[in-house]
Amino acid sequence: MAKPARPSIPSERPKDHPPIKSGRTGVLLVNLGTPDGTSYWPMRAYLKEFLSDTRVIDTPRWKWWPILNLIILSKRPQAKGRDYETIWNTERDEGPLKTITRGQAEKLSERLADLGEDIVVDWAMRYGNPSIASRIDALQEQGCERLLIVPMYPQYAAATTATVGDKVFDKLKTMRWQPSLRIAPPWHDDPVYINALASSMTAHLDKLDWKPDVILASFHGIPQRYFDLGDPYYCHCSKTARLLRETLGLPDDKLRLTFQSLFGPEEWIKPYTDRTVEALAKSGVKNLAIVNPGFTADCLETIEEIGVENRDIFKNNGGVNFSAIPCLNDSDPGMDVIETVTRRELMGWV
């Protein structure tokens, strides 16, 4: 039987066809988020979005809705707004997390210049602005058919990494022409990350005219229940701390793992940073440094909670010298980490 004639495919686009940009790859760095301003309403909007995420708070909605809307959102926006004011980037009118994430994206773009014009680097916030959906739109408009999402968390947690995925999938669900998608895995035990932390800690501590008796590696906490339900976050943090200890040649009691930023009445993973700081000061430790390996950018939880609140706890209980070691941010070692992770995950695409 004769084959039916193949319909001819026009070799050129019809004259009235809209222009198509194509063939590019987008890299989207995503960090947690920050309010649009420090006054009541922007603070409230930010906290409401954040604390309504079931990945962050999994309490049944009928129970959580009145607690959030009637109790937490009536007081916390003012209190936290005052804290944000103390760290605010007034020049740009934004939180430091935004400023630093933008800097990381700009530097990454420069570092990937050898890959040519077909790579576009951008950044977004999981909560607040610029939103993930708006940046995916922008990348697609620039011709990105492939998308690498980099959740800016070295340790995986459902409350951070997975919720970035959720938001990306929500957006993709609405798109007729979806980009191909990759999500970078956590890098809690990557040698480039451990070495970057070790070198930035050493450089910072060498500049002090005193030596710490103890260093705390303080990570953001999660409720103990989330760990019991199978979240690998605690194990990732423990491994980072162990590798850091090994790299720096420090014994267990000199570099200790702790967890900060507790929220609500539940039990969180332990030991708690603030209680450890207090106990160390009371036990006679005079010189203390704290590093925050789980934060890729300095933010309220590092600058204010560690640099101010925990410094005060230490000094008020007999401590003498205290230093908060800055996050990797967009420093050279920090950018080495982001570049290594990105290049590895782009393999096969570029």
Which parts of this chain interact with ligand L6N33NVT (CB under 6 A)? 32, 34, 47, 50-51, 56-57, 76, 80, 95, 97, 153, 157, 159-160, 220, 222, 233, 261, 263, 294-295, 299-301
Closest CA to 152 of 299, 260, 303: 299
For residues 51, 56, 59 and 65, what is the CA-based torsion angle, rounded to 10 degrees?
10
Q: Which is nearer to Fe ion, 25 or 260 (CB)?
A: 260
Of positions 305, 327, 328, 329, contacts Fe ion by CB under 5 A: 305
Structure tokens given for 98 = 């935004």
Q: Which is nearer to ligand L6N33NVT, 143 or 165 (CB)?
A: 165
Per DSSP (E only), the strands in the chain are 24-33, 119-127, 144-151, 180-183, 214-220, 255-260, 287-291, 321-325
- Cβ of residue 323: shortest distance to ligand L6N33NVT, in angstroms? 20
Q: Which is nearer to ligand L6N33NVT, 95 or 212 (CB)?
A: 95
- Cβ of residue 87: shortest distance to ligand L6N33NVT, in angstroms? 7
What is d(CA 343, CA 81) in angstroms, rounded to the nearest whole number? 38
What is d(CA 102, CA 60) in angstroms, rounded to the nearest whole number? 36
- Cβ of residue 297: shortest distance to ligand L6N33NVT, in angstroms? 7
Residue identified by tokens 């933008």 is 102
- Cβ of residue 32: shortest distance to ligand L6N33NVT, in angstroms? 4
φ and ψ of 180, to 5 deg? -70, 150
What is d(CA 3, CA 111) in angstroms, rounded to the nearest whole number? 53
Q: Which is nearer to ligand L6N33NVT, 56 or 184 (CB)?
A: 56
What is d(CA 216, CA 258) in angstroms, rounded to the nearest whole number? 7
Of positions 161, 240, 261, 276, contacts Fe ion by CB under 5 A: 261
Structure tokens given for 37 = 């301003």
Terminal C-alpha separation, the chain: 45
Q: Which is nearer to ligand L6N33NVT, 108 or 222 (CB)?
A: 222
- Cβ of residue 307: shortest distance to ligand L6N33NVT, in angstroms? 12
Is 220 marked within a binding site? Answer: yes
- Binding site for Fe(2+), by residue number, is 220, 301
Residues that bind Fe ion (CB under 5 A): 261, 301, 305
